Amino acid sequence: MRPSSRKKPSPAQQRQEQWRKDRASAQTLRNAYPTAERVNVHLQFQQPTAQRPTAQSFELYPPARAFFEYPCPYGDCDGIFDLGAAIREALGRASTRVEGTLECCGVRPGDGGLKLPCGLRVNYTLAAQYKAEPATRT
Ligand SMILES: [Zn+2]
């Protein structure tokens, strides 16, 4: 099956478009977590081959969007690593450090029009700093 000349966006492009909209409508970190001063998200991909995607790091400050969905680093994959739930929970509890692993559930085009599950795994680390609370005097 040869790629046709249709202008229809690929699933990966559609996913990317939806992602941009979601990101644009997310509230800022300052609104969502007023005490959070700085949030660092580090993504370390696990792949047993030489083509392992490079690690990614994101620094978020109060004016940034509190949006924690990261598209799979494979350009032909329509998957997104959604760290939103884990990070919202961590920030809600004022945790300073959270680690976990997620697996990409997107699909990538294979030979002969096959769709192959991506399955890329990522180790994520969240490190957050909060504004110092004034000490309670008794
Ligand atoms: Zn993927």
Does a structural domain hold residue 91?
yes
Q: Are 109 and 117 in contact (CB under 8 A)?
A: no
Does a structural domain hold residue 98?
yes
Identify the burial level of 81 via C-beta atoms within 10 angstroms of its C-beta, where 0-12 means exposed, 13-18 middle and 19 or more buried.
Answer: buried
Does a structural domain hold residue 108?
yes
What pLDDT was estimated at residue 47?
A: 81
Q: How confident is the model at residue 16 (pLDDT cuts 50, 70, 90)?
A: confident
- High-pLDDT (> 70) share of the chain, %: 91
Distance between CA 117 and CA 107 in Å, rounded? 4
CA of 133 to the centre of ligand 1 (A): 40
CA of 103 to the centre of ligand 1 (A): 8
Identify the burial level of 119 via C-beta atoms within 10 angstroms of its C-beta, where 0-12 means exposed, 13-18 middle and 19 or more buried.
Answer: middle
What pLDDT was estimated at residue 41?
A: 97
| pTM confidence score | 0.82
First to last CA, the chain: 75
Does a structural domain hold residue 40?
yes
Does a structural domain hold residue 5?
no
Q: How confident is the model at residue 5 (pLDDT cuts 50, 70, 90)?
A: low
Q: At residue 131, what are phi and psi to the nearest 5 degrees?
A: -60, 140
CA of 91 to the centre of ligand 1 (A): 26
Distance between CA 12 and CA 26 in Å, rounded? 21
Mean pLDDT estimate for the chain: 89
Using the predicted structure, report yes or no on whether residue 116 has a pLDDT greater than 60: yes
CA of 3 to the centre of ligand 1 (A): 21
Distance between CA 91 and CA 29 in Å, rounded? 10
CA of 83 to the centre of ligand 1 (A): 14
Count of domains for the chain: 1
Does a structural domain hold residue 99?
yes
Q: Which one, of 45, 44, 101, 91, lies nearest residue 64 by Cα?
A: 91
Does a structural domain hold residue 58?
yes
Residue 127, strand partner residues: 40, 97
What pLDDT was estimated at residue 6?
A: 61
| Domain residue limits at 63 | 35-130
CA of 30 to the centre of ligand 1 (A): 30
CA of 47 to the centre of ligand 1 (A): 11
Using the predicted structure, report yes or no on whether residue 23 has a pLDDT greater than 80: yes
Does a structural domain hold residue 21?
no
